[in-house]
Amino acid sequence: MWCNGVRRGSRRYRKYAAKTKPEDTFRLLQLTRNLALEGERAYQPQHEEIIRRVKAIIGNYGSESVRQHAYVWFAQGVWYAKQKYSSLALQKEVNALFMYFYVLGLNESALRDIAASFGVTIPPIYDIVGVTPMSEDMIYAGTRRALKEELRVVSLFIDNGLDKEVLVQVKANRESSYTKATNVEYPISVAANSFTAQTLSPDTFGWLPYIMVEVYCYDAPTSGSLTIWLVRNKDDQVKLVDALEIRDTDTHTPETDPDKIFIREW
């Protein structure tokens, strides 16, 4: 009958079989049917009113109407809570219902409107859970900061000693290869015999472990050279391009000029 203090399944089965004998169940139904009908008759108008109220509110929330049944469940829960509780107990019950359906993905404002239609005002979420909310700006700021700390910001210092304008296309790749490298933003234009710097931040430009450049000129230079530094910090600076003398309008890459253009780790 008992095994290690736990009732055996066979006993539970025999008890269930005894409780659900057809003749006993039929007799119980005869005794309670009229009472059940009275309760159902009293509730049905309330149920119809709940559906009408939900339809009217959800109609203001566009595509949320496809989940009307879930909002009806929420409204029914609020209605039941009002029949059973009042004051602080009612507020706690409705707050819990709100959080449950909110976590399921229902529209926060729609849930609040439904509760308000029953005379219950739902407080801000952070008052319910006791946690101050984080704005999107705060969340993204934290993400950006984490990216900067983990992946680090780098800068390019482009020294164009050519006598013509040069365009520098920064590229990145998941492996140390020019093949399948993707562009990082638009080409950087640097006037003849001038210099500029460009900072690359992972939260703005994305991140891949390897960085490189390809360079080209619209007009063929006749003198000078191009040098580009990858600056990680004041003590960590390496060359992406080392005194490249361009004399044509071709695109120069780590593949065409492997001794002058290098692939580096970001």
Specify the pLDDT at position 144. Answer: 58
Has residue 137 been placed in a domain?
no
- The rounded distance, in Å, linking the Cα atoms of 141 and 120 is 36
117: Cα separation from own chain's centroid: 31
- Whether residue 144 is contained in a domain is answered as no
Angle subtended at Cα 56 by Cα 51 and Cα 60, rounded to the nearest 5 degrees: 135
SS3 161: coil
- In the chain, the number of structural domains is 2
* Residue 41 scores a pLDDT above 70: no
Residue 134: C-alpha distances to residues 111, 192, 241, 258 (Å)? 21, 48, 44, 48
Task: State the pTM of this model.
Answer: 0.47
Question: Which pLDDT value is given to residue 192?
Answer: 96
What CA–CA distance (Å, rounded) separates 13 from 36?
A: 28
Considering 114, 129, 144, which residue would you say is the last residue of a domain?
Answer: 129
Is the pLDDT score of 152 beyond 90? no
In this structure, are residues 125 and 91 in contact, taking their beta carbons and an 8 Å threshold?
Answer: no
Clarify whether residues 100 and 169 are in a common domain.
Answer: no
One domain for residues 122 and 156: no
What does the mean pLDDT of the chain come to? 85
Residue 9: the pLDDT is 58
| End-to-end Cα, the chain, rounded Å | 70
> Mean per-residue pLDDT for 14-42?
69
Assess whether 253 and 176 both reside in one domain: yes
- The three-state secondary structure class of 215 is strand
One domain for residues 102 and 197? no
Residue 219 lies in a domain: yes
Q: How confident is the model at residue 38 (pLDDT cuts 50, 70, 90)?
A: low
- Looking at the domain assignment, is residue 135 inside a domain? no
Q: Is residue 99 part of a domain?
A: yes
Query: Which residues are CB-neighbours of 53 under 8 A, at least 6 positions away?
Result: 75, 114, 117
How many angstroms separate the Cα of 214 from the Cα of each of 10, 85, 160?
78, 71, 14
Instruction: Report residue 224 as tokens.
Output: 């000078």
Model pLDDT, residue 141: 60
13 inside domain: yes
**pLDDT band at 2; cut points 50, 70, 90:** very low
What is the average per-residue pLDDT within 27-53?
73
Instruction: From 240, 217, 249, 231, select the one nearest 170 (Cα to Cα).
Output: 240
Residue 4 or residue 78, greater confidence: 78
Residue 134 is assigned to a structural domain of this protein: no
Residue 220 pLDDT greater than 70, yes or no:
yes
Non-local (6+) Cβ contacts of 111 within 8 A are 71, 74, 98, 101, 102, 122
Range of the domain at 206: 152-265
Average pLDDT over residues 198-220: 88
Q: In this predicted model, which residue has the larger pLDDT, 36 or 242?
A: 242
* Shared-domain flag, residues 26 and 109: yes
pLDDT score of 164 more than 90: yes
Residues 109-115, mean pLDDT to the nearest whole number: 95
Angstrom distance (rounded) from CA 64 to CA 108: 11
**Per-residue pLDDT, 142:** 58
pLDDT computed for residue 36 by the predictor: 62
Is residue 13 pLDDT above 80, yes or no?
no
